[in-house]
Amino acid sequence: MACTTLFCGCGTPNRSAFTGARGEAELIVLHPADEQLAQVQSRMNPQINRTVHVFAPEGEGLQSYLARINAFNSRPDSATSWNEVVSNEGDFLARMLGEKPGNVALLSGRTATAAGYSAACIGAGLNVLSTAPLASGTPEFRELERSLGLADEKGLVLYELMPERYEIAALLQQALARNADFFGIQLCGSPEAPAIVSESVLPLFTARMEGTGSSTALRPGITGSPANDKTANAKGESRDNSAFETAPADYDDWSYPADSLGLQNAFLLAAAPRIDLIQLAVFGRERIKYNRQIQFTSARQYPAAVPEREYLRASGSAALPPALQPYRSGDTLRLPGNGELRYVLNGVHTGVSIRHYLPGSGTAPAQRESPATAATAPEDKAASHADAGTTAGMTVGTTGIPQALPAPYRKLALQGEKATLTLVERGGALPQLYIVPAPGTDSTRFAQSLLAALGQLAPLCPGLGIEPAGTAFRVVIPAEARTALPQRIEKAASQYLDYLVQGYPPFWEVDQMLAKYYTLIRPFDESQQQ
């Protein structure tokens, strides 16, 4: 995985057959297997032809996709008018490649990666838009690199759908991190105390939505109490939920993949969006040479151990789903998806942690130390879903940043010379951005500097404000700036359509895509480690 491919498309004139004309993007949906794929069609886009050709084997993935499209077509407000032409018999891939009834292949990463659909589509002259993951091991990574080079030669666009990029709190974090006058330089940290830390605690199963055949993650810890309530824990510490306004049900996705291919890639699916956000914060829209600017410190993956009876009780199932049977060991499920990764990105020590827990069991993992300081467990030990007590509400520490969160949650902290930027996401609540001044900074002057920096972001998000949170400040984001997951997927798809008209993706997009999967695959590759 040390080779580097050079792509020349970004420096050549527009080679695209796309002009932005109405209906010119003709979709071919190939073997759908996740909900984000269907969300690309949640709204009609004038550039996308209303007739969509679907090639897939009969099964739950196809039925779930069609049910979602039917829901879009039949909703009372803003109904779509997609015409789905389905082919589900015989060798659907060979039939699609022979007929090629469109010019853009829409792929589910969890099926496309295993079957090599992306390379086949690029080889046949089709553009590709795929959900994650684009690679799951070294052979697939090398195939991705070759496919990107071939796409460049043919004037095609191979791109990954990345809706997490368009969440406004994450965009603000990245923008402030790129403001040297406010943030200073990005600190480098150390292996013991990384300057960038991402921590995710996610649920282990999903619940079915009535009548859709699709799934949505349970949201444990959300009790339905008012979002602005204040309570106290058993120790008398103040707990303040005022910052966490309740989010719409479709604002984010906390689901754990329950299908067999998704289970195999659970860590990849959870970690890929975090790596993408970290790279954007460090590099912005700049190129990355992955074999020169990324070095690995340590990495481990380990299963979450769940007693079968507790899984059945929490999920309300009478029997284990077929996809979970291979993970049964006696009376315990050893489910994949947990992992910790420590690496150096362009000189910055970075830690990423992904942990899963069993919702509905009355216990959830409490917030641990950062990935850089957490003790390394033996490789053959599984992490218990109930290794710590439940946290109800958040404990407000001296900095004002939530120190303990109810699962599920995600946190991403960037430590700079003048400030630390922490993005906090809670299941069922709107993401929040906290800013902590560097030690010894005058609070009043820092607040003025922060307001000035936010004022410069008015083109991105007008009407930003701040409110004190202990010694930190919380960025107050106007409600109209918030966009739910379907709208963020729509924005990501629109970006792809822009690249189609341009004729190629920018150099930095290709570089960062390869860097992301190099980071996710290289340290865990057993053959390389041996």
Q: Encode pLDDT of 470-508 as tens digits.
A: 999 999 999 999 999 999 999 999 999 999 999 999 999
Which tokens in the block code for residue 315?
């999920």
- Give the model's pLDDT for residue 251: 87
Separation CA 466–CA 476 (nearest Å) = 5
Handedness of CA 179, 498, 42, 463 (dihedral sign): positive
The full DSSP string for 100-166 is ---SEEEE-HHHHHHHTHHHHHHHTT-EEEEPSPS-SSHHHHHHHHHHHHHHHHHT--EEE--GGGG
Structural domains in the chain? 27-161 (3.40.50.720)
Cα→Cα distances 499→391, 485, 509, Å: 45, 21, 11
Q: Which residues contact 315 (CB under 8 A, 6 or more apart)?
A: 205, 207, 360
Beta strand 158-160 with 127-130 is: parallel
Separation CA 186–CA 195 (nearest Å) = 8
Which tokens in the block code for residue 359?
């919702």
3-class secondary structure per residue, 250-283: CCCCCCCCCCHHHHHCHHHHHHHHHHHHHHHHHH
- Give the model's pLDDT for residue 219: 32
- Give the model's pLDDT for residue 358: 83
Cα→Cα distances 156→125, 159, 270, 469, 499, Å: 7, 10, 28, 48, 10
129 DSSP β-pair partners: 106, 159
> What global pTM score does this model have?
0.86
Exposure string over 138-174, b if 16+ CB within 10 A, otherwise e: bebbebbbebbbebbebbbbbbbbbbbbbbbbbbbbb
- Give the model's pLDDT for residue 16: 64
- Give the model's pLDDT for residue 227: 34
- Asked whether 507 and 10 are in contact (CB, 8 A), the reply is yes
Q: Which residues contact 94 (CB under 8 A, 6 or more apart)?
A: none
365 DSSP β-pair partners: none
- Asked whether 179 and 453 are in contact (CB, 8 A), the reply is yes
pLDDT in tens, 326-358: 999 999 999 889 999 999 999 999 999 999 988
Q: How many CB atoms lie within 10 A of CB 284?
A: 12
Amino acid sitting at position 376: T
- Asked whether 28 and 92 are in contact (CB, 8 A), the reply is no
- Asked whether 423 and 273 are in contact (CB, 8 A), the reply is no
CA angle 127-133-139, nearest 5°? 90
10 Å CB burial of residue 423 (0-12, 13-18, 19+) is buried
Cα end-to-end distance, the chain, whole Å: 14
- Give the model's pLDDT for residue 506: 96
Q: How many CB atoms lie within 10 A of CB 129?
A: 23
396 DSSP β-pair partners: 402
86 DSSP β-pair partners: 54
Q: How many CB atoms lie within 10 A of CB 246?
A: 16
- Give the model's pLDDT for residue 368: 46
Cα→Cα distances 187→274, 315, 345, 435, Å: 19, 44, 12, 15
Residues of the chain with pLDDT under 70: 1-16, 205-244, 360-400, 402-404, 526-530
- Asked whether 1 and 142 are in contact (CB, 8 A), the reply is yes
What is the rounded (10 degree) CA torsion for 321, 324, 329, 332?
-70
The values of phi and psi at residue 467, to 5°, are: -140, 145
